[in-house]
Amino acid sequence: MEGMEPGTPETPRGAALVLRLARVQYTPVILLPVLLGTALAFEEGVPLSVPRLLLALAGAFAAHLGANTLNDVHDFLTGADPGAETRDSRDFGGSDVLTRGWMSPSAAHRTAWLFFALAGGCGAALTFLAGWPVAALAAGGLFLAWAYVAPPVRYGYRGRGLGEAGIFLAFGPIPVLGGWYVQAETIALRPALASLPLAFLTTAILFNHHFTHVEGDRKAGKMSPVVVLGKPRALLVSKAVLAAAFLSVAGLVAGGVLPWPALAALLAAPLAAGLFRDVRPDSPVERFMALTGGIARVNLLAGILLILGVGVSRVLLL
């Protein structure tokens, strides 16, 4: 691939390099919302279409890989990733593929749009099968992915919570509604409301990720909440965002939006609370890296339990 260093044995190549660039390990955050939307439709008695589900998952998977890759390209070009304290980490200073020189920015940019093209193909097939709202939801997700870091919008650099708002929409209402619509072929308020727990959880991952490269963001002019608020206040907000995820589960069950077995997601709450036990504003960057990884695991556990709770309620006819 263009720009790849000839190699050392540990240098990833081919598909392994591309998937490392795209941070494939974080794709559960986009697959879970699609599955939740599907589970909600199934719970309401909609016959499950496995081909549509597989197309939706494949499209979401490819779109997420494209978004991660595009993010790496622009964060590299602005200096945010090269200047990050964690620039040599495969998780926290971008993917590290560009900062180590294993691929050129131009090759990575082409790779991003190849992923988006694959996602677009899945979206086109689902639009043909289910209707134009699929295209509208896909276009909204693509815009949020592109505009997050790409000029002239670059809303993820502007502060004021715009980046977090974009993540909230892109990993909450949009994919949950997408998973719902391709099965039920109707637009409804319920899946949008039911998306709140996963939207908060994924936003919490991004929010805490900012703690791992504060100085790089500041020097690059990326006004993340941690840069704007400072670590002490940002840490309080971080806890509030994570708490909102679990409070929303309880509130949605109380309001009849989610069935009571969805309360199983609350089993992940003690794990989430424990992640902050030894975290202080002056903690070393490694502690914030562990916190972010822990929240990603909480996201996975809570998401699986939430989806199973919704699906089980159909089986129990609740």
Q: What is the CATH number of domain 27-315?
A: 1.10.600
The per-residue pLDDT for 22 is 82
Give pLDDT, residue 89: 64
- At residue 84, the pLDDT reads 65
Residue 231 identity = K
| Cβ neighbour number for residue 65 with a 10 Å cutoff | 26
Structure tokens at 249: 């589960």
Q: Give the mean pLDDT per block of 10 residues along the chain (318 residues).
A: 43 83 88 97 94 97 93 84 65 72 91 95 96 95 90 84 92 97 96 97 92 82 87 94 97 96 96 92 88 93 97 77
pLDDT in tens, 265-296: 999 999 999 999 889 988 888 898 889 999 99
pTM over 0.75: yes
Alpha helices (H) along the chain: 14-21, 28-43, 50-78, 105-130, 133-149, 162-170, 173-184, 189-194, 196-209, 214-220, 225-229, 231-254, 269-274, 285-315
* The two structure tokens encoding residue 209: 């990720």
Q: What is the model's pLDDT at position 19?
A: 85
Cβ pair 182, 126 in contact under 8 A? yes
